[in-house]
Structure 1
Amino acid sequence: MEQVTQAKPLPSGSGAGNTMERTAARVTRWAERWFPDAYIFAAIAVIVVALGALAIGAPMQRVGIAFGDGFWSLIPFTMQMAVVAISGYVVAVSPPASKMIAWLAHLPKSGRGAVMFVAFVSIAMSLFNWAISLVFSGLLVRALARRADLRMDYRAAGAAAYLGMGATWALGLSSAAAQLQANADSLPKALLAITGVIPFSETIFLPQSMLIVAALTIASLAIAGLSAPVGDRARTAHDLGVSLDDIDMNVAKPARPGEWLEYSPLVTILIVLLGVVWISHEFTAKNPLLAISNLNTYNFVFILLGMLLNWRPRRFLNAVAKSVPSTAGVLIQFPLYGGIAFILTKAAAPAGLPLSEHLAHFFVAISSQASFPAVMGAYSAILGFFVPSGGGKWIIEAPYVIEAAKSLQVHLGWAVQVYNAAEALPNLINPFWMLPLLGVLGLRAKDVVGFTFTQLIVHIPLVVFMLWALAPTLTYHAPVMP
């Protein structure tokens, strides 16, 4: 997963290709020159949000306190995301999973076909669980890149692996907003009194919602294929100086008696058996879909699965050690986003409102029943650029979004889906969610943003139009209280 700093120059024929490919190439060249490292991106976002809070009258002391209070607020989530990257990698480099990924990697017949195949896998898996989509797709890209007979643009394939997070994840089963609204026990009481319970049948399983998923999938696959450089214009992992070496799966015999347990499956079997007892209880006591959507449960399952598939503790530990570099960006940057969230929501002017409420009230004030989906979609996308957190951001926004929907007689489930559809858009150019994937790929945000930006310029009008056009096909229903 290490990236060698010395990369080969861009091929001279990079200016050829169709319009999509040329657009992606131009933006990529611009990004390679001007796009900052993801850490700088996050740091600039902190400064912009702080200036916005000061502009509405928040005292400097309150802004600074909010930043410091929020700096560690995402620590549990940071740890969860780090474990997502570690557990996903450990599972994927195990002998059984490696064979599956290797088998899938042999299916595409061309570099452009490989990019589209990765995009399809990423999008399909994101509808069930975004974390699986992110890690599995990244490792599939690495497996495809090892094929000597396939000249695949590694940057385009990396961007394709990110499409699940940038296009469809929030419209699937792991949508934090939909999960919260479907489960009364998960909602804060104050929010429950406003929104009531909104079941999956009124959100992600709406035919209109599924139509958006289908449209985004078709559009994303087409853009991924058309924007991928081919032939001499493609830059492979080798051209970019990316090492594709993985851990040696062969485990030697112990060198001394004290190492015996490290090479024996006995410890693994006993721990996995204990874990299975808890997993069995969790999945029988709850709806299985709700259980697996809990990130802690997901990570627990994958850690145990990684232990089991690697069989021997020494092999498991080797895989963990190899995966740790992919978490570096997550560990240092997520605290900055925690600070941003607190500035937005807690740094208010004396006797005034915080910046997040000013933004919400502005967009609600300029909307009508007809324009509400498009206006709120734009608002969600803009705020999501600074606070890329599905569940946490929905709790902040839901009171204003749902109250506006109720006053304008907009279908409440559709209001949730408006949020969800727009939620993924800023992910296409915001490095926040890219970090675990980039760590696996050995790339930086600037390497893939040209291709994800090309997706964004098509997704924005498509999503906004469909949110607006489909809203009149739904009828408003009063909130259902438990």
Structure 2
Amino acid sequence: MLRALTRPVVYLVERWLPGPLILAIILTIIAAIAALTMTDTTPGELVMGWGEGLTGLLAFMTQVCLVLLLGYTLANTRPVHRLLTGIASVPRTPVAAYGFVTVVAGLASLISFGLGLVVGGVMAIEVARAAKERGMKLHYPLLVASGYSGFVIWHMGYSGSGPLNAATEGGAYTDLPGGLVDITRTTFSWWNITAAIVTLAVVTIAMMMLAPKKDEEIVTAPGRVFDRPGDGGDEARAGDSGLGDRAEGDAPAAVAGRTKRTPAEWVEGFRGFTTILGVFLGIYLVMYFGSNGFNLTLDIVNWTLLCLVLLLVGNARELAKLVAEGGHTVSEVLLQYPLYAGLIGMMGASGLTVIISEFFIDISTPGTLGFFAFLAAGLLNMFIPSGGGQFEVMAPLFAAPADALGVQQEVVIMAIAYGDQWTNMIQPFWAIPLLAVAGIKVREILGYTTVTLVLSGIVLGATMLLVGAG
């Protein structure tokens, strides 16, 4: 039945959904029309808000690009490739493969959202490769959708920007009613942990149930997915030749039989230099965690990935080669994130965000405030897909009504977090990095992630109602 319900959605999405770039432009136009008709903002003020907002995510964009590039590079170093190949061989049936990718991506997302995106894409590729070697056919769009579906619980985990913001001095809750809210009341509350487990279980079962039957069409992974980065350059990987990366103009020396490397070639192929830098960075990370505890930030995630890359890569030449090959994972991010930053600026300058939030506040009761905050956050996430940015906007709007209605602040904090992660399943902003790794288009997975949206929405919405009633 689930497959039957999904089929028309998949058809409509594949036929009518434009690419992420066009969708970002369409959302900008919709927000502009809404702002001009629902607020007293002038066209000039709207354009200024949009233009000044374009640079708002540049630092964050750089962090995300590094997560993707370093994650891709790490996954394709020889030791990690062998590990991933072994893990990817665990599922022995197509149904198990879809569930396996969902669970692995979900657990990684609970640690760090950036890690979850990279792992989701990489595991989809590695499981597809392992399945091909075993002669097992997998529906690749569903496999990638499974990896992205695991991302639906990221804001309930350790890197959840909303709860972390509410617990941090200088964050949104510093001057709000009740003051700072410790993460033991939000992220590590029993009801949030339970909701995360139930949500991941429900989504995993759904992805397994969507597995095509033998008589249904199966779209296998594109050929480029099976092209291992660095193929044909093993001499550079091993650092035992130094001639692997030479241009055609250097061929005469090779033809002449020169096998002795020049000093420059020896330096580039010597593993010790990358290892020394990796050890140096590792010492810094040990000192950081010793002083700050297990406090993960995007920067620390990036330096951890870089440390592992430096320690595991064969030499500097291999590192440069893998980074160059991984450049495709960040190209769309570099173009589209500024557009969403401009959209955020437009929403803030016009006051449209406040209007939407106040509508849901006005119809709320003590028992339903959390639920309506969840819906409001889900709607706003379509236009402000940055979890931290959205929380900064919404938290001050819902904190005062929560205090007046006697609702615990942790309820609205997690409601905003839940709404933000929920509609990511149909908002391609966060799918862009994962799809860049996996090598397919958003329209190929959105029919399946719409199922994730519906089922996770039921669990998350019910959680807010139950907690609100308690």
TM value normalised by structure 2: 0.90
Offset, 1:461: 2.7
Asked whether the 8 Å contact 1:153–1:230 carries over to 2, the reply is: no
The equivalent residue for 1:313 is 316
**Structure 2 equivalent of residue 157 of structure 1:** 143
Map of 1:471 onto structure 2: 468
Q: Conserved in 1, the CA contact under 8 Å of 2:20 and 2:442?
A: yes
Among candidates 181, 185, 191, match of residue 208 of structure 1? 191
Displacement of 1:52 after TM fit?
1.5
Matching residue within 385, 397, 401 for 1:400: 397
Cα contact 2:176–2:396 (8 A) shared by 1: no
| Cα deviations by residue, 1:306-340 (Å, 9 ceiling, x for unpaired) | 12211311111111111111111111100110001
C-alpha distance in 1 between matches for 2:281 and 2:352: 44
Q: CA deviation at 1:193?
A: 4.2
> Does structure 1 residue 248 correspond to structure 2 residue 251?
no
Whole-Å separation in 2 of the counterparts to 1:72 and 1:230: 47
Aligned length: 442
Equivalent residues in 2 for 1:218-233, closer than 5 Å: 218-233=201-216
Q: What SS class does the counterpart of residue 229 from structure 1 fall into?
A: coil
d(CA) in 1 for partners of 2:426, 2:50: 24
**Among 381, 387, 390, which residue is 2:387 paired with?**
390
What is aligned with 2:162? 177
Alignment equivalent of 1:340, drawn from 343, 346, 367: 343
Write the distance in 2 (CA, Å) between the matches of 1:319 and 1:110.
Answer: 31
Counterpart in 2 of 1:412? 409
SS in 2 for 1:301: helix
**Alpha-carbon deviation of 1:346?**
1.6
Runs of 4+ off more than 4 Å: none
Pairwise CA distance, 1:195: 5.0
Question: SS of the counterpart of 1:311?
Answer: coil
Match of 2:200 among 193, 217, 231: 217
CA distance in 2, matches of 1:64, 1:382: 23
Q: CA deviation at 1:399?
A: 0.7
Q: Does the 8 Å contact 1:130/1:164 carry over to 2?
A: no
Q: Distance in 1 between matches of 2:7 and 2:226?
A: 24
Structure 1 residue 273: Cα displacement: 2.9
Residue matched to 1:237: 220
Preserved CA contact (<8 Å) 1:71 1:338: yes
SS of aligned partner of 2:188: coil
Matches of 2:119 and 2:391 in 1, distance apart?
A: 27
TM superposition shift of 1:246: 1.6
Q: 2:68 aligns to what?
A: 85
Report the AA paired with residue 95 of structure 2.
R
Structure 1 runs not aligned, ≥5 long: 1-18, 348-353, 474-482
User: Is the 1:152–1:234 contact (alpha carbons within 8 Å) kept by the matching residues of 2?
Assistant: no
Overall identity of the aligned pairs, in %: 23
- Per the alignment, in what secondary structure is the counterpart of residue 230 of structure 2? coil
| Cα pair 2:168 2:174 within 8 Å, conserved | no
1:218 aligned partner, one-letter code:
A
Instruction: Tell me, in whole angstroms, the C-alpha distance in 2 between the residues paired with 1:208 and 1:40.
Output: 39
CA distance 1:138–1:365, change in 2 (3 Å): same
RMSD: 1.6
Checking the alignment, whether the CA contact within 8 Å between 1:151 and 1:230 is kept in structure 2 is no
One-letter amino acid of the counterpart of residue 235, structure 2: V
Partner of 2:171: 187
Please give the alpha-carbon distance, in whole angstroms, between the structure 2 residues aligned to 1:385 and 1:281. 39
Supply the distance in 2 between the matched residues of 1:26 and 1:328 (Cα, whole angstroms). Answer: 31
